[in-house]
């Protein structure tokens, strides 16, 4: 059943993104007076086709649904001679400005789609973790700022001046800190500390390099969602947890006096204390002896080798269940569009920077993903609900737009590069050079596709 959901979600995602991208090319081409011969969803043998009586465009659904194309009238294409009456409608006879507009329309359509999808998510509302900070690891940015755990972040402002922006959820906090990290800014977070009022916490993100701004950058800064409950879902036979007296259903309230309200923070603490005794404050579960009673249990994490890092880490042999405080976030129509545009811009900039880091070797090529990973995430997001799937669709749409704008021949960005050279020099790039560059560009695309597919297989079979 999960495989079927993944395949359907993947087909819907690819279908929507390809149609939007190609319709961008098609609509601007028609607006510029260019004759469109074929609008194809997919490549290869046509499965279905029909011809518009009004425009003469052939609409096709092909057998390989991993892309699409718009074929325009062009004198450079081999085939039957073009009737003299149609020559003014040939793509190659258009001005440089029109050709740039037609080629750029595809990626721009993807960005517009992302803005619309994000705006829809913001307007309809989404349930997200509250912006409550867990106790940070010592000597992290969050710890140095003064966070102790349990504070609720309500605003962020530039340390050099400016109005404070409201923080509504953990996701909202993450995106605001991501933007500040990209710009190497100093910011001030306003947070409520229980019932004691609102305090300012200065964060210095100037020393954070682009290499450190990745999916894990919040944890690196010392920020993890807090305020939740950490319960024991199960205890493994013969484990350190069982020997210490930990029972399924117990709630872990603290570890060595530190609040235990985040699974990641708790697990990392246990990992760093291999073979060292730690004290857990436990609230007995409702089905256990003395329900509700608080007990201190001393537990010595066993020493095991971590398969990912090869290092010796601590394990207690307990399965954890977490429940994080959540909040329903909803915005008005205008604010939703503004936030959608900002989220799209931030993700596009992040994608470009990540790709640049991969080129210079500052980021691993393992960050590239192919169709298998996309299908996997399509299925997972579809199972989470409409908001998650729309957000996923927007993310992939942005990635598609950025990818197509890269200055690689055979992509839209490569053609844009040709036309920009023509606009500056007044001379078109010769057919010979275009052929050479096209072959080089095709080699780049094949190499990137091979790396992405290898990464997909590596994630799938864990090697």
Catalytic, 224? Answer no
The per-residue pLDDT for 315 is 92
pLDDT level of residue 117 (50, 70, 90 thresholds):
very high
Name the catalytic one among 22, 128, 151, 283.
Answer: 22
pLDDT level of residue 73 (50, 70, 90 thresholds):
very high
- Supply the mean pLDDT for the chain: 85
The per-residue pLDDT for 106 is 94
Instruction: Give me Rg for the CA atoms of the chain.
Output: 27
The per-residue pLDDT for 215 is 62
pLDDT in tens, 397-453: 999 999 899 888 888 998 899 999 988 888 888 878 878 888 887 888 778 777 777
- Whether the per-residue pLDDT at 462 is higher than 60: the answer is no
Question: How far is 293 from 419, CA to CA, in rounded Å?
Answer: 74
The per-residue pLDDT for 374 is 75
pLDDT in tens, 348-398: 988 888 777 777 776 666 767 777 777 777 787 888 788 888 998 999 999
For tokens 């009238």, the residue is 73
pLDDT above 70 covers what percent of the chain?
A: 93
Q: Which pTM was predicted?
A: 0.79
Of 20-34, 90-104, 132-146, 351-365, give the lowest mean pLDDT range: 351-365
pLDDT level of residue 190 (50, 70, 90 thresholds):
very high
The per-residue pLDDT for 176 is 87
Whether 141-221 shares its CATH topology with 229-323 is answered: yes
Of 61-75, 109-123, 210-224, give the lowest mean pLDDT range: 210-224
The per-residue pLDDT for 97 is 92
Mean pLDDT of the 76-85 span = 79
Please report, for the chain, the start and end positions of each structural domain, with discontinuous segments joined by +: 141-221, 229-323
pLDDT level of residue 216 (50, 70, 90 thresholds):
confident
Mean pLDDT of the 97-107 span = 95
pLDDT in tens, 323-353: 888 888 888 999 999 999 999 998 898 888 8
pLDDT in tens, 259-273: 888 888 888 889 989
CATH fold of the domain at 229-323: Pdz3 Domain (2.30.42)
Q: Which class is domain 141-221? A: mainly beta
- Whether the per-residue pLDDT at 1 is higher than 70: the answer is no
- Whether the per-residue pLDDT at 212 is higher than 90: the answer is no
The per-residue pLDDT for 107 is 95
The per-residue pLDDT for 293 is 85
Mean pLDDT of the 30-37 span = 93
Residues facing residue 252 across a β-bridge? 230, 282
- Whether the per-residue pLDDT at 128 is higher than 70: the answer is yes
Question: How far is 22 from 15, CA to CA, in rounded Å?
Answer: 11
């Amino acid at each position: 059943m999960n495989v079927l959901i993944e395949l359907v979600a993947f087909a819907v995602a690819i279908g929507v993104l390809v149609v939007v991208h190609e319709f961008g090319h098609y609509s601007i081409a028609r607006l510029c007076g260019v004759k469109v011969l074929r609008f194809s969803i997919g490549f290869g043998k046509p499965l279905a086709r029909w011809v518009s009586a009004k425009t003469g465009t052939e609409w096709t659904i092909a057998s390989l649904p991993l892309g699409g194309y718009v074929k325009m009238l062009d004198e450079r294409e081999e085939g039957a001679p073009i009737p003299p009456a149609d020559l003014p409608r040939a793509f190659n006879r258009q001005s440089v400005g029109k050709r740039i507009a037609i080629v750029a329309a595809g990626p721009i359509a993807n960005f517009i789609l992302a803005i619309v999808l994000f705006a829809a998510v913001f307007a309809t509302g989404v349930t997200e973790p509250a912006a409550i900070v867990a106790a940070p690891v010592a000597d992290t940015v969050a710890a140095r700022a003064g966070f102790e755990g349990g504070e609720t972040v309500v605003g962020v402002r530039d340390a050099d001046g400016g109005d404070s922006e409201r923080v509504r959820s953990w996701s909202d906090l993450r995106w605001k800190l991501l933007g500040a990290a990209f710009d190497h800014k100093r910011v001030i977070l306003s947070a409520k500390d229980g019932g004691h009022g609102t305090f300012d916490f200065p964060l210095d993100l100037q020393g954070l390099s682009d290499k450190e701004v990745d999916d894990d950058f919040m944890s690196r800064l010392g920020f993890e969602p807090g305020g939740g409950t950490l319960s024991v879902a199960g205890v493994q036979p013969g484990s350190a947890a069982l020997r210490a007296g930990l029972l399924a259903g117990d709630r872990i309230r603290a570890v060595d006096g530190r609040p235990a309200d985040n699974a990641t923070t708790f697990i990392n603490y246990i990992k760093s204390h291999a073979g060292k005794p730690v004290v857990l404050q436990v609230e007995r579960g409702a089905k256990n002896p003395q329900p509700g009673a608080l007990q201190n249990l001393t537990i010595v994490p066993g020493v095991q080798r971590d398969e990912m890092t090869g290092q010796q880490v601590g394990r207690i042999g307990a399965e954890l269940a977490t429940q994080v405080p959540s909040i329903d976030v909803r915005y008005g129509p205008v604010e939703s569009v503004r936030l959608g545009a900002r989220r799209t811009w931030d993700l596009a900039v992040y994608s470009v920077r990540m790709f640049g880091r991969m080129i210079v070797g500052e980021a691993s090529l393992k960050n590239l993903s192919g169709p298998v990973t996309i299908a996997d995430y399509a299925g997972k997001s579809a199972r989470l609900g409409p908001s998650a799937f729309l957000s996923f669709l927007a993310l992939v749409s942005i990635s598609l737009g950025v990818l197509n704008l890269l200055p690689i021949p055979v992509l839209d960005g490569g053609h844009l590069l040709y036309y920009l050279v023509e606009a500056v020099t007044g001379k078109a790039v010769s057919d010979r050079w275009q052929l050479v560059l096209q072959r080089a560009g095709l080699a780049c695309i094949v190499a990137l596709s091979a790396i992405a597919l290898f990464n997909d297989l590596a994630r799938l079979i864990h090697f």
